[in-house]
């Protein structure tokens, strides 16, 4: 049962028995994410103070400039997750290939794989706008005792056992699900503890916010164009409000609290969509569904898509159920 004034550590321990694989390992895994997020948070907050902002001069596999904090966050999450004998492999948006983890003595006995976008929306750092971390956890499908393999990572979103995000915003929050609802915890920076601040988070069924990069409008599929026009029509609750931060975690977080829809459709610039199925869309879809929302590529439930490669991209429509269904209706009919 969720209680206010409960720390994340207490909540994880109290709720670990409601998780269907009750070995305590998942709790330890969430604890390590909580710790790494605190370290990254500290660094993100210093971004304006120290000479850490700006590109590191490296380009990730997606051909995008990496920011220094991307590199830092990537290292911190990987280090923290590697040390604890829980995770057998990590795939990161910032790494070309997955990382195999095996300590000398445990002979590939770890059960979980983690997929992570260590610092999403990092182009916002230089201008002091919120960024986030997104993570997704699966049980491996290959036998214990063997090295982790690609198929352990290429699982459908519906097989996720946990997912969450951290938003480094006006306050820092960690929001996660283990398939039993969604809870949000706010970091008290003076003490360094996260407190349960948003128990049982739910998307309102309907909303009046739409979030999309309208600069790409001319390239959008007809169904999306017509849905955007529908959002702008003067009828009933409409026109809706347009809000786009350009930081998925922040746009999602606002929409979950206030009711809204986020869209990143395909366009000629991003013919398959921009967002990554494994690091961004699946974890957000799991959280959305656990919070009574919906996530789709316009036609198919995100979590039903069979992944074929680690860095795969998909169109993404996510948010309040009725709004996503309306957008899907426009996609089907156009």
Q: Does 121 show up as a binding residue in the annotation? A: yes
289 binding Mg ion? (CB under 5 A): no
- Name the residue with tokens 């739409």: 210
Which of 306, 307, 209, 213 lies closest to 264 in space, CA to CA? 213
State how far the Cα of 51 lies from the Cα of 275, in Å rounded to an integer. Answer: 29
CB of 226 to ligand AHM, least distance (A): 20
State how far the Cα of 82 lies from the Cα of 90, in Å rounded to an integer. Answer: 9
Contacted by 152, from ligand AHM, Mg ion, none: CB < 5 to 8 Å by type: none
Q: Does 205 show up as a binding residue in the annotation? A: no
120 binding Mg ion? (CB under 5 A): yes
State how far the Cα of 154 lies from the Cα of 305, in Å rounded to an integer. Answer: 10
State how far the Cα of 38 lies from the Cα of 273, in Å rounded to an integer. Answer: 31
> In this structure, what DSSP letter does residue 111 have?
-
121 binding ligand AHM? (CB under 6 A): yes
Q: Does 297 show up as a binding residue in the annotation? A: no
110 binding ligand AHM? (CB under 6 A): no
Which position among 25, 94, 117, 328 is part of the footprint of ligand AHM (CB under 6 A)?
Answer: 117
- Which stretch in 95-103, 117-125, 140-148, 302-310 sits in contact with ligand AHM by CB under 6 A? 117-125
Strands 193-198 and 172-177: unpaired
Which of 38, 125, 133 lies closest to 94 in space, CA to CA? 133
Number of residues that bind ligand AHM (CB under 6 A): 10
117 binding Mg ion? (CB under 5 A): yes
Q: Does 244 show up as a binding residue in the annotation? A: yes
User: Phi and psi for 296 in degrees, rounded to 5?
Assistant: -150, 160
Closest residue to Mg ion, Cβ-based? 120
Which position among 48, 54, 189, 246 is part of the footprint of ligand AHM (CB under 6 A)?
Answer: 246
Contact residues toward ligand AHM (CB under 6 A) are 64, 117, 120-122, 213, 246-248, 274
């Amino acid at each position: 049962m969720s209680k206010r004034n409960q720390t994340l550590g207490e909540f994880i321990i109290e709720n670990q028995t409601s998780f269907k694989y009750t070995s305590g390992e998942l709790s330890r895994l969430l604890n390590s994410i909580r710790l790494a997020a605190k370290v990254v948070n500290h660094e993100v907050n210093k971004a304006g103070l120290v000479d850490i902002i700006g590109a590191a001069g490296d380009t990730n596999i997606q051909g995008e400039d990496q920011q220094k904090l991307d590199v830092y966050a990537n290292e911190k999450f990987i280090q923290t997750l590697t040390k604890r004998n829980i995770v057998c492999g990590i795939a990161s948006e910032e790494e070309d290939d997955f990382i195999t983890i095996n300590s000398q003595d445990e002979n590939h006995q770890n059960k979980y794989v983690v997929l992570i976008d260590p610092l999403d929306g990092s182009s916002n750092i230089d201008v002091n706008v919120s960024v986030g971390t997104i993570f997704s956890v699966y049980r491996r499908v290959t036998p214990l005792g063997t090295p982790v393999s690609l198929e352990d990572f290429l699982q459908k979103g519906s097989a996720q056992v946990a997912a969450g995000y951290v938003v480094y915003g006006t306050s820092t929050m960690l929001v996660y699900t283990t398939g039993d609802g969604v809870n949000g915890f706010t970091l008290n920076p003076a003490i360094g503890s996260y407190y349960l601040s948003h128990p049982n988070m739910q998307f309102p069924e309907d909303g009046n916010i739409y979030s999309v990069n309208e600069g790409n409008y001319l390239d959008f599929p007809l169904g999306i164009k017509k849905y955007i026009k529908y959002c702008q029509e003067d009828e009933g609750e409409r026109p809706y409000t347009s809000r786009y931060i350009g930081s998925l975690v922040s746009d999602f977080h606002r929409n979950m609290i206030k009711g809204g829809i986020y869209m990143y459709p395909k366009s000629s610039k991003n013919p398959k969509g921009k967002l990554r199925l494994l690091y961004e869309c699946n974890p957000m879809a799991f959280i959305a569904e656990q919070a009574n929302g919906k996530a789709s590529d316009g036609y198919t439930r995100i979590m039903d898509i069979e992944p074929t490669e680690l860095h795969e991209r998909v169109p993404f429509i996510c948010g309040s159920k009725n709004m996503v269904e309306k957008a899907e209706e426009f996609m089907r009919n156009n």
